[in-house]
Amino acid sequence: MSSSLPLAEFLHFLQFNQGLSANTLAAYRADLRKFSHWLQAQSLAWQTLQNVQLEAFMLQLSDECKAASNARLLSSVKRFYAWAQQQKRVQSNPVDQMVAPKAVRKIPKVLSEAQIESLLQAPDLGTALGVRDRAILELMYASGLRVSEVVELPFEQLNLNAGMVQVVGKGAKERIVPIGEEAAEWLQTYLQQARAELVGNKRVKTLFVSRLGRPMTRQTLWHRVRNLAESVGIFSDLSPHGLRHAFATHLLNHGADLRSVQMLLGHSDLSTTQIYTHVAKARLQSLHQQHHPRG
């Protein structure tokens, strides 16, 4: 009986049976490697691990990592053991009785509508890259797509006539998202004026390409957004999800219902979307205090 964790087999199962994204698989790999290293350091076999031993591992982590990271790691280990039980490689699951540490859910900081407008105006439209960046920003703010969804978006999944984009999100779940007239016009401009110049003779499946005519990476896109934001004086904790947060919050501020926003974002659980109601309420409270005579 091998004491090494069958990590490759488990990740293969997640990829081809569960349809998890590359980013999610990377997170599982990192978590389980950390778990495997701890097992080796303690001379423990994963097949015979006891609940009390796993609790010692989590206690050690609580001094080293944030609660959110620990909760994710415990979830990864739990899923691994559930798979191992299904494969009849273990008789009991040491994670069954454990409760994940509660992570404090942070309310995201959201750019105001005025800041978003400034950001949208930031790209230099005299260049192909500037036209591309404007199209990207308009699409992200109009649709709430994740950064990974934008850079991986296939050319053929954009329907400008219908004003829609077909997205394959987390867990290989598909959704149809409207993009609005403004974003559609900028995407049309990008396709007519900039994309061919950037691509050259290459055949690239993704809608957006780098300055070298290749598919963009998440890092490239994020750096572009951050640099454009800083160029117009936006330095406040802008995250890669900044435009996605703004999309959701501004919709709620203007009266959209939570369930519709959930569908547009591609959240499987409504509780994930509810974080934006706190942002919207905080904004309304601020406006009330600022403008109401009894505020």
Express each pLDDT in 137-170 by its tens digit. Answer: 999 998 889 898 999 999 889 999 889 888 887 7
**In this structure, what token pair is assigned to residue 165?**
């984009």
Measured in degrees and rounded to the nearest 5, phi and psi for residue 254 equal -100, 15
- Cα dihedral 204, 207, 210, 211, rounded to 10, equals 90
Whole-model pTM above 0.85?
no
Residues 6+ apart with CB under 8 A from 90: 46, 47, 81, 84
What is the per-residue pLDDT for 236?
A: 72
HSE-up (13 A, CA, CB side) for residue 91: 2
Whether residue 50 is contained in a domain is answered as yes
Is 127 within the bounds of a domain? yes
So which residues are the catalytic ones? 146, 170, 241, 244, 267, 276
pLDDT (0 to 100) of residue 123? 96
Distance CA 11, CA 7 (A): 6
pLDDT at 295: 43
For residue 187, tell me if it sits in a domain: yes
Q: What does the pLDDT average to over 78-83?
A: 91
Asked whether 120 and 137 are in contact (CB, 8 A), the reply is: yes
Q: What is the pLDDT of residues 90-125, one digit of tens each?
A: 887 888 767 655 555 565 677 888 999 999 999 999
150 and 213 in a single domain? The answer is: yes
Residue 96 covered by a domain: no
Tally of domains within the chain: 2
pLDDT score, position 292: 47
Taking the alpha carbons at both ends of the chain, their separation in whole angstroms is: 69
**Residue 257 pLDDT class (50, 70, 90 cuts):** confident
Looking at residues 250-257, what average pLDDT do you find? 79
Among 109, 103, 100, 5, smallest CA distance to 47 is for 5
* Mean pLDDT score, 251-272: 72
Residues 179 and 286 in one domain: yes
Range of the domain at 207: 113-291
